[in-house]
Structure 1
Amino acid sequence: MPAPPPHSPTSEEDIRWMRRALHLAEQGQGAVEPNPMVGCVIVRDGQPIAEGFHQRFGGPHAERDAVANVPAGVSLAGTTWYVTLEPCCHTGKTPPCTEAVLAARPARVVVAMRDPFPKVDGGGLQQIRAAGIDVQVGVCQEQAEDLNAPYLKRVRSGRPWVIAKWAMTLDGRIATATGNSQWISGEASRAEVHRLRGRCDAVIVGGGTAEADNPTLNARPPGPRTPTRIVVSASGRLAVDSNLVQTIDQGPVQLFASADAAGLQPLVDAGVEVIQFDSDSPSDRLAMVLDHCGAANMTNVLVEGGGDLLGGLFDLDAIDEYHVFIAPRIVGGAAAVSPLGGQGRNKISDSPVFATPQVSRCGDDVYVTARRVSESPPKSVSFNP
């Protein structure tokens, strides 16, 4: 077996092409889950030969998509491949990507990060190295881990990436003291929420929100995913004539309720999947919801309220990302509703730390997105991107 060639140092060109591969990978968002988003660029002498990305779940992975785009008669021998995630080495819905790499006989394969999926987890890298091909791992690693943070969380913890969303006034209220909340945000913000729903596996609300707002919780127009609509209500607060139940043909509806909740059979008869809590602890119940979503291979779940549900998830330290729409309105009132209920934090120093938030405009509203900084940040790479 030939010995692998000496490790090649990272160059500005490596960073350039890996960033291109990451840009390609992002185009699969919402269509490839529960698989990760992956991009691939094949280069010779500083010029791209072909590129590809994982476009949909069950379809060709990025490496095979790139090979399919190679011009007729062009040899891939001696090329450099830039791949945002370790090539898979097992047969799933598609053949192993390592076979496509080895058949092409590249001189070098540059990978942003190792895939922690148990059936891969270094095995793909080992196969490619064993063939005498130079393999480099860690180029733009932090960007790759950030791109696939939801996938990585599900693989490592068994739970989905939790996105909290709310619209609030300038004085931080999501409803008036009487419970009125429609509409705080403008049309542009509501359209953005529909786009967000359309790339998530589930949209979750509490029973109070389902009762007060009578939402449909689907994506209009439909996105790449059809989210499961989930209501969390120990007392089983979901009316048979609600918009959720009446639109069950547009997407699954699940109700998490206590075992002793009354009057649930009509919901079951209407097609609602009722899942019974096995604990009286509010935190255990929310953990059960997340575990159930993870077991169903859900990667991203969107929680739209109300304050008790969001507060409970916040207290459980389960929220990974926030999408907040701030409208140019003020309602006032000590009894007006705030976004997060629950116990909250006793000290500011105990509150979550966020990476630099993204701030933009949605019509007249201000749109803020932020991700919590991991307690164990991704391993840094040895260059300045």
Structure 2
Amino acid sequence: MAEDARWIGAALALGERGRGRTAPNPNVGCVLVRDGRVVGRGWTQPGGRPHAEAMALAEAGEAARGATAFVTLEPCAHASPRGPACAALLTAAGVARVVAALRDPDPRTDGRGLDRLREAGIAVTISVREAEAGRAMAGFLTRLSLARPHVTLKLATSLDGAIAMASGESRWITGPEARAHAHLERSRCEAILVGRGTWEVDAPALDVRLPGLEARSPRRVVLSSRHTRESGGSSPDPSTMAQPQEMGSRFRGDNVVWLGGPAEISDLAGVDHLLVEGGAGAAVAFLAADLVDRLLLYRAPILIGGGRAALGDIGLGSLAEAHERWALVDERRLGADRLEVYERHTASAGMR
């Protein structure tokens, strides 16, 4: 089991390479091991094809025969115009064993892939590092179970919970290491959302500015309570809004999606991971709507005093409602700053 967990860990690391680029397919990783040596590896490619197993088998060639396939999700059982079923590919390649971290809840597979492997005489092991695999493919699983993207809310605050000076000055609360990490998080999402106020005042680029990852900038989404579905998805009339000069063409709505409320994220096609990044109003709206799955809390070792609070009223009726909603899953130091990562507590997951 220790060896199985080790190789599934390698497959999980490979799967992370595709995160934010494979929707509507999951970001799967696969490692083929024969006689203790890696003979093939793969991860789901941009757009969802080829699948991780197909990539690993293509690299391994004849060396796949008799090997063990370590894969982060049950191999698919359904053929597609875009490619054959992975269970069939593994069978044809002659692998001896398949170790899968997570069963695929997609009704087109949902156990059928494992059954087909067993019927072909292939040994199957399931549920190795299952929780980690669920976290790695949270976007796919959330879209499948809740018909919406997995939502991460990012907050960068002072020790006393401010996101800006009283004047609105906010550049920069955190240091360069924390900001670089935030850009890495952007690269792992298909879309990034800010509130209309942040869009107007700060004119954020919302892109990825890490060397080598610039092409992975997410789609830009703006939340505006004055925008409705009836507007047909068009951007607001620029003549009705303040126009900071540095906004340039971005303000005209080029390549920007406008939403009238948090619930409309379900309509974002091709988006399984959404990062809510800018504005206390947007943060409050998503928390009040109970649509936040993960929190990124960057805290700088500074006190502002009298600054703009990170959050307003999120609709809690009592202090008891605030408890047991969030579980700390990671924490680390980024330069002088501190990052804490929280996920929705399992006890409150049904509230969504």
Of 48, 63, 83, which aligns to 1:94? Answer: 83
Matching residue within 129, 139, 144 for 1:140: 129
Is the 8 Å Cα contact of residues 207 and 214 (structure 2) preserved in structure 1? Answer: no
Pairwise CA distance, 1:163? 0.9
* The one of 57, 69, 91 aligned to 1:81: 69
Paired residues of 1:58 and 1:93 also in contact (CA < 8 A): no
1:290 to 265, 270, 277: 265
Following the alignment from structure 1 to structure 2, what is the Cα–Cα distance between the partners of residues 299 and 56? Answer: 13
1:217 is paired with a residue of what secondary structure? coil
Residue 319 of structure 1 corresponds to 292
Q: CA deviation at 1:245?
A: 6.2
Match of 1:218 in 2: 207
- Report the 3-state secondary structure (helix = DSSP H, G, I; strand = E; otherwise coil) of the residue aligned with 1:194: helix
CA distance in 2 between counterparts of 1:58 and 1:51 reads 16
- Tell me, in whole angstroms, the C-alpha distance in 1 between the residues paired with 2:237 and 2:201: 10
**Equivalent AA in structure 1 for residue 314 of structure 2:** Q
Q: Quickly say closer, same or farther: Cα 1:47–1:310, change in 2 above 3 A.
A: same
- The match for 2:230 is none
Amino acid at match of 2:167: T
Q: Deviations over 1:186-242 (max 9, x none)?
A: 233223222222222221111222222222222224545342212211235784755
Residue 111 of structure 1, aligned match among 84, 92, 100: 100
Specify the alignment match of 1:252 in structure 2. Answer: 255
Q: Percent identity?
A: 38
C-alpha spacing 1:58/1:194, structure 2 compared with 1 (3 Å): same
Question: Within 5 A, what are the aligned runs for 1:154-173?
Answer: 154-173=143-162
Give the direction of change, closer, same or farther, for the CA distance of 1:75–1:206 in structure 2 (3 Å limit). closer
- 1:369 corresponds to which letter in structure 2? V
Q: What is the rounded CA distance, in whole Å, between the counterparts of 1:126 and 1:213 in structure 2? A: 54
- Aligned AA for 2:308? V
Q: Equivalent residue for 2:10?
A: 20
Q: CA deviation at 1:29?
A: 2.3
State how far apart, in whole Å, the 2-side matches of 1:56 and 1:42 are: 21
Distance in 2, Cα, partners of 1:316 & 1:178: 29
Provide the rounded CA distance (Å) in 2 between the counterparts of 1:249 and 1:129.
56
Q: CA RMSD in A?
A: 2.7
1:338 is matched with: 309
TM superposition score normalised by structure 1 = 0.78
Residues 197 and 227, structure 1, Cα contact 8 Å, conserved in 2: yes
Structure 1 letter corresponding to 2:337: D
Residue 152 of structure 1: how far off its partner (Å):
0.5
One-letter amino acid of the counterpart of residue 163, structure 2: I
How many residues were matched structurally? 333
**Which residue of structure 1 aligns with residue 23 of structure 2?**
33
Structure 2 residue runs without a partner (length 5+):
228-235
Which of these two proteins has the greater Rg computed from alpha carbons? Answer: 1
The alpha-carbon distance between structure 1 residues 254 and 331, as it changes in their structure 2 partners (threshold 3 A), is same
Instruction: Specify whether residues 135 and 229 from structure 1 end up closer, same or farther in structure 2 by C-alpha distance, changes over 3 A only.
Output: same
Residues 142 and 359 from structure 1, CA distance in 2 versus in 1: closer, same or farther, beyond 3 angstroms?
A: closer
Cα displacement string for residues 140-180 of structure 1 (whole angstroms, at most 9, x for unaligned residues)? 21221121122111111111011111211111111222333
Aligned partner letter, 1:286: P
Local SS of the residue matching 1:195: helix
* Paired position in structure 2 for 1:57: 47
**After alignment, is 154-163 or 248-257 more displaced?**
248-257
> Is 2:67 aligned against 1:67?
no
